[in-house]
Structures are given as C-alpha cells and as structure tokens.
Amino acid sequence: MDWKQQLNNYTEKINRELEKYIDGNANNKNQTLIDAMKYSLMGGGKRLRPVLAIASYEIFKEDTHKVLPCACAIEMIHTYSLIHDDLPAMDNDDYRRGRLTNHKVYGEGTAILAGDGLLNYAFEIMLQEALKEDNIKSYVECMQVIAKAAGVHGMIGGQIVDLESENKKIDKETIDYIHLNKTAALIAAPLKVGAILAGANKDDIKNMEDIGRNLGLAFQIRDDILDIIGEEEKLGKHVGSDEDSNKSTYPSLYGLDYSINRVKELTCEVHEKLNRYDTKSKFLYELSNYLINRDF
C-alpha cells in the first residue's frame, strides 16, 4: 500500500475512535462542555501523535486495536494543550487550523474547562482500558510514559519556559528545553508507548523513544523555519534575526542555514535508527521525511 494511503487509513481509524469516545459522554446537563471538547478535538488535526503510536506498534506486532485508546488519549492531551495555549492569557490566538479558536466560540471559561475535561478524559479512557488488560502492568507503564511526557517535566514544563521567554532574548539551552519538552516529549511518547504495548524489548523501546525525540525536535525546528519563510514572503523582505520577532526561534538564534542543516542531521539520525526494522519501518521512514520536508 502507498504510504499516503496508509496515513489516510490510520487517520480515518483514529477519527472514528475519537468521535466514538467523545460522543459517548454527553448527558442533558454537560452538553456545552462536550460540544466545546468536540469542537477542538474533531477540528481537523493531522493526528500525527496517534499515527506515530500505531506505526510504532505495527513494527513489532500486527493488530492495532490495543494501541488505539492510548493513541486517542495522547491526541486529547495534545488538543487540550492547544486550547489552553490559544487563550488570551497565553498566545492569544483567534484562529487555529483555519477556524476560530475554542475560546472565541465558547468563551474563555468554557474553553478552560474543555481543556481540563480533555486532559482528565484522556486518563479516564486509558484507565478503563487498563482494567480490561491481562498485562495491566505494561498498560500502567504506558500511562506513566504519557503522564510524564505531558507533565511538569515534559510538555507543561516546556510551556511555562515558553511563556516566560516571550519578548525576551533566550539562550540556546533554553530553546532546546522548550522544543524538547513542549513539542518533542509528546511526539516521543506515542512511539515509546506503541513499542511497549506491542511487547518490544527494552532496547527497541529506547530506540523508538530516541527516534521520537529527534523527530520532534526536527519537526519543531522545521516549524520555526517555516515561520521565518512565511514571514519573509508576507513582508517581502529578509527576516532572520530575533530583532524582528518577539519570540526566539532556532533560525533567530542559529541562523537559517544552520537550522536547515540541523533538521537534515536529525532526519538522518531518525532514518538510521529506523533502518534496523528494514521494510517494517517503511511507513515511519516516509512519514518522517514528509514531516521534516513539509512546507505547510
């Protein structure tokens, strides 16, 4: 199967699961909350994180049903972080993925609760699955991987440093901390979780996590590069120094050429680490290429 067709199949499967999870939740009282959660959850995300969980799982095992709840939970956590990130007190964004942000549609109070609801619900669905599992311990290990990646030493840790760094010149160590925690942690987690649930050995689990960290970092640097290129096209002039921006980025700290090279280096490392799985990692190989070279 063509890898893009496979991506499409995965995405459809994930969307169906997410919709099922979220629709099962409304009662006649909390409808607004569920609507607000659904608005962002079903609002056209790329489903990158759950796709990575499935793709990682499939390297080691053939069925995929076991990884789906964790994959969906990670997407819920990612979505909650976007809802809270978009709030006026944070990035103050009116649009995301071409649609009004959650608080612009439902109001700030409901958006805060919708975010809280998605984070909490992510754990609810994983706990429900864990109790059905024969190997409950490895399921709990996966939940721990996800909770750590989303937490104060992971995504939320990255978010606070990002928030504190606005309108400030930051050093290279700090931008790496932000990228590795705010972005890469929740990209490494699904790859690690897929391997754990499929019963991979310790070495492979570590390998998949490393792939995720490199991929996540490359993905974020590519984002920074695209911001600069987009800005240049919009302004019709060269931008590339932090003086033009209120946020330090990889290109503003290291220059555009270095940043482009860093993405290439990280991509090579990802591909090298995938090589050991031969044809089984073809999908992840193609997907990582696509993500890292994207111009969207």
C-beta of 26: minimal distance to a copy of itself in Å? 9
Q: Which stretch binds a copy of itself (CB under 8 A): 41-49, 135-143, 199-207, 220-228?
A: 135-143
Could you say whether residue 117 binds a copy of itself (CB under 8 A)? Answer: yes
If the CB atoms of residues 113 and 228 are measured against a copy of itself, the closer one turns out to be 113
Find all residues with CB under 8 Å of 61, minimum gap 6, and list them. 198, 199
Could you say whether residue 21 binds a copy of itself (CB under 8 A)? Answer: no
For residue 190, give both structure tokens.
């699904």
Could you say whether residue 123 binds a copy of itself (CB under 8 A)? Answer: yes
From the centroid of its chain, how far is CA 3?
20
For residue 31, give both structure tokens.
């409808």
What is the 3-state composition of the chain as percent helix, strand, coil, each rounded to the nearest 5?
Answer: 75, 0, 25
C-beta of 72: minimal distance to a copy of itself in Å? 15
To the nearest 10°, report the CA torsion of 39, 42, 46, 52. 120
Q: What number of other Cβ atoms are within 10 A of residue 140's Cβ?
A: 14
Could you say whether residue 172 binds a copy of itself (CB under 8 A)? Answer: no
C-beta of 157: minimal distance to a copy of itself in Å? 4
Per-residue x/- marks for a copy of itself, 43-82, CB under 8 A?
Answer: -------------------------------------x--
Could you say whether residue 140 binds a copy of itself (CB under 8 A)? Answer: yes
From the centroid of its chain, how far is CA 131?
26
Contact residue for a copy of itself among 1, 23, 95, 120 (CB under 8 A):
120
| Total of chain residues touching a copy of itself, rule CB under 8 A | 55
Contact residue for a copy of itself among 18, 67, 82, 112 (CB under 8 A):
112
Q: How many CA atoms are closer than 13 Å to the CA of 276, on its beta-carbon side?
A: 9
Query: Residue 270 and residue 191: Cα distance in Å, rounded?
Result: 12
Could you say whether residue 131 binds a copy of itself (CB under 8 A)? Answer: yes
From the centroid of its chain, how far is CA 143?
16
CA torsion through residues 276, 279, 284, 289, sign:
positive
Greatest CA separation for the chain: 60
Could you say whether residue 280 binds a copy of itself (CB under 8 A)? Answer: no
Could you say whether residue 182 binds a copy of itself (CB under 8 A)? Answer: no
Contact residue for a copy of itself among 8, 9, 30, 241 (CB under 8 A):
30
Contact of 249 with 224, CB cutoff 8 Å: yes
Could you say whether residue 153 binds a copy of itself (CB under 8 A)? Answer: yes
For residue 180, give both structure tokens.
């590795």
Neighbour-count burial of 210, counting CB atoms closer than 10 A to its CB (0-12 exposed, 13-18 middle, 19+ buried): middle
Q: Which stretch binds a copy of itself (CB under 8 A): 60-68, 103-111, 182-190, 241-249?
A: 103-111
Contact residue for a copy of itself among 37, 53, 59, 185 (CB under 8 A):
37
Residue 103: which region, alpha, beta or left (left: phi > 0; alpha: psi -120 to 50)?
A: alpha
> Binding residues for a copy of itself, per CB under 8 A?
25, 27, 29-30, 32-34, 37, 80, 84, 87-90, 103, 107-113, 115-117, 119-121, 123-124, 127-128, 130-131, 136-137, 140-141, 143-144, 147-148, 150-153, 156-157, 159-161, 163-164, 174, 177
